[in-house]
């Protein structure tokens, strides 16, 4: 079946809009309710979104070029790296997580591990100097327990 992308997405949109509407119906009603209340606007939003989803199913656009195997792997690695980075930034200090994360990203673009290592190290230390000393943001170079 052609144009699967839009049809599938339209289906997801409809399901999402339905879930949103159901959740809107469970909003606690406040004390002095005004004529519109807390539920009306979210319900309108869910209604229109659901309608848009239906239109996407009925009249889909051409499919875009979806990424192929190696690209999907690259994207997956990239997203996993970023999530890991987000979790590591606070406990791990700035330098090490940043060097590793930017190294991995750079490696996904240019498959040269030595170069990625160099880019990661330089980016991490360079950005740290700029952010910490030029812009005065409060960043910690190393995990806090090292300082204690």
Partner 1 sequence: MELIDNLALGFAIALSPYTLMLAVIGCFLGTMIGALPGLGPANGVAILIPITFSLGLDATAALVLLTSVYYGAMYGGRISSILLNIPGDEPAMMTTLDGYPMAKSGRAGDALVISGFASFVGTFFATVALALVAPLLARIAYLFGPAEYFALYLLAFATLGGLASKNQAKAAFASMTGLGIAMIGLDNATGLPRFTGGNLHLFDGIDFLVAIVGLFALSEVFLFIESGGRNTAIGIKLGKITIPWRDIVATRWTLLRSSVVGFVAGVLPGAGASLGSFLTYMMEKSIAGKKGAFGSGVAKGVAAPEAGNNSAAGGALVPMLTLGVPGSGTTAVLLALLMTLNITPGPTLFADRPEVVWGLIASLMIANFVLLAMNVPMVRIFVRVLSVPPAVLLPGVTMVSFVGIYSLSGSYFDLVLMIAFGIMGYVFRKLSIPTVPVILGILLGNQMEDNLRRAMILSDGDWTFLFSTPIAVGLWIFAVAGFTAPFFLRRLIRTPKGIS
Partner 2 sequence: MSNFPVSNFRKVLIAPLFTIIAAGFSVSAPAAECIAPANPGGGWDFTCRQIGKILHDIGQVDDPVQVTNMAGGGGGLAFSHVVNERKDDSDLIVAASQATATRLAQNAYAGMTADQVRFVGAIGADPGVIIVAKDSPFQSLNDMVAAIESDPGSVAFAGGSAAGGFDHLKVLMILKEAGFTDIGKIKYIGVDGGGDAITQTIGGFTQAMTGDISEAVGFLKSGEVRALAVLTEERIEGFEDIPTAREQGIDVVAVNWRGLYVPKGISDADFEAWGRRLQAVADSMAWKEAMKANGLAPFTKVGSDFQTWVDGVIADTEALSREIGVIQ
Binding residues for partner 1 (CB under 8 A): 5-6, 9, 13, 17, 20, 23-24, 27-36, 38, 41-42, 45-46, 48-49, 52-53, 55-56, 59, 61, 64, 66-67, 70-71, 74-75, 78-79, 82-83, 85-87, 89-90, 94, 98, 101-103, 105-106, 108-110, 115-116, 119-120, 123-124, 127, 131, 135-139
CA distance 25 to 39: 6
CA-CA-CA-CA dihedral for 52, 4, 18, 76, to nearest 10? -110
Q: Distance from first CA to last CA of the chain, Å, rounded?
A: 62
Site for partner 2 in 2-41 (CB under 8 A): 31-32, 34
For 28-51, letters b (16+ CB in 10 Å) and e give eeeeeeeeeeebeeeeeebeebbe
Instruction: State the binding partner of 117 from partner 2, partner 1, none, CB within 5 to 8 A by kind.
Output: none
Site for partner 2 in 103-142 (CB under 8 A): 133, 136
- Reported as half-sphere exposure (CB side, CA atoms, 13 A), residue 64 has a value of 5
145 lies in the binding site for partner 2 (CB under 8 A):
no
- Residues at the interface with partner 2 (CB under 8 A): 31-32, 34, 133, 136
């Amino acid at each position: 079946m052609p144009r699967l992308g839009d049809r599938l997405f339209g289906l997801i949109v409809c399901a999402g809009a339905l879930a949103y509407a159901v959740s809107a119906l469970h909003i606690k009603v406040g004390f002095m309710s005004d004529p519109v209340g807390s539920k009306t606007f979210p319900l309108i939003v869910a209604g229109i979104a659901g309608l848009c989803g239906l239109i996407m199913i009925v009249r889909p656009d051409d499919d875009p070029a979806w990424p192929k195997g190696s690209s999907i792997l690259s994207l997956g690695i990239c997203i996993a790296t970023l999530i890991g980075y987000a979790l590591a930034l606070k406990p791990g200090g700035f330098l090490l997580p940043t060097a590793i994360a930017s190294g991995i990203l750079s490696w996904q673009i240019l498959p040269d591990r030595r170069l990625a290592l160099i880019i990661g190290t330089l980016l991490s230390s360079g950005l740290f100097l700029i952010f910490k000393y030029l812009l005065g943001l409060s960043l910690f170079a190393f995990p806090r327990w090292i300082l204690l």
